[in-house]
Structure 1
């Protein structure tokens, strides 16, 4: 009798009106407490969601490469590695501290807040919050630059195929990889541009969201550099769940980029295009107005695995776990290459 398929976390769902993004670090020596707390996350989520069943509350948890080694026993997800900072000719993508990512979303901000409060109460001083962003929907799914965001996301079964690990890493079916970055916008400089020039920066028309024709769209536009294909010319997809955020008194206006994919290679290639250029030096013009101030890569285990993470030293080696790479092999994401897609299936 075949083993049951693992149940994914709620990566995909109806559009959210609000989101709360928490990046946490784990206190040394408190790994057991955090692992136990993660095992209770689904129960806490259900207890809050039950009070507002139609408002689509979801909480997704991801672990960084270092946190996986500290908290989890047995084999590792084969694509998990630290976020690699990028140092381009003009712009930089930093890597910032973070062991855990919690992505809470719903149709109501109070649900996200209540669940986050309960989770942090449960984890207590075993964790520290190093980044907290409250996102919101802005008019018709636009970012604070005034353009529709995420319109190229795949839907239905194509979305599941794009984000969920399958037979390529059998021990981690139903999992996913997520990259997050917080971008701060210079709205004064942005609003100084005429609409036609803003459209050339983005690669889309502002009013109707239509992509500019190829003979009009500049090669350094955001759309051009974030459209990537495999060797057969098939477009490679991720699912973005970006959210605007801001603090009026601080003059802080931004976009929280969050991209899910079944392999981190696709998102990393997009970031390489943006910050290093494709061809090299042709960097994304949006970076002249949007500065990345955080960066992290996390693995999102299936809900089945998250409910019962094995402690280090207790899990048997999986029979289908991939062979570890040679000690001198280049890890995906090392150097400026950030790995090769090899036909594998931003913001």
Structure 2
């Protein structure tokens, strides 16, 4: 459930007071039809916080609850009090209100749907994947098992890391399986990698064995979130393999976007981490299918972030370190050299 749907449902179902009570707010006063006043759990003032009942905007006069996008609403209030990431806050609200986080949305009037669609078009790219994340039955992984393999070990992913990321094997397609989990640790997809070193042109090296709305996922965030907070930095790579390679090297603050173009949802999830971002794409990510260099590629990626968001890029400008299509994480020495010379591009 996304933020807009959640807030609309909380308002329609008159769940605002339930949420405030669950948060531990005190002196909750709903006497005004337009807003509710209350005090912070650890505060003395009985009316330090005002929640507007028509849109769930929050004015917190004694606390700075504003999120990276400048928002101050019921979700940012939950994030501030509970110390949670935005997705965790949304899930918490769903649990308190007894909503299914991945379930069906409430039925809206045609006019409400039109208003909401117009808002989304103005806020997000039209190319955003419209498919929603759906949790899969965990028992699916029993079919693939949990096996280590020499192919990945030779590629810089230790056996311990393979076990950590629950790698398995598909006997029918002869593929190493990579479970895809969202930041709440729910299984939302399974990706397969053909079990052979050299892949023919007519073969698919990677294949989703269980489809996934990949533009809505930052692979590895369920495991790396705590290290991102500790390091105060998130490294953004293209592939799931790169996250596991870095994890093997002890670099546990990376996430993968499952491609080389950031989706609006991925940009938002990265921004809400509220730490500097390091873009570390494969060599030649800016080269199009026609073989020509797209000089606007990297600027377009950087411009997806807020102006005040600190963004670095890890890039082999001279092309003397990385081979074509090589990932910076493929070689520890190359990674070290490139990371040392990363440069700021925003913020």
TM-score, reference length from structure 1: 0.28
**Normalized per residue, which structure has more helix?**
2
Higher RCO, 1 or 2 (CA under 8 Å, sep at least 6)? Answer: 1
- Tell me which protein shows more strand as a share of its residues: 1
Q: Tell which structure's C-alpha radius of gyration is larger.
A: 2
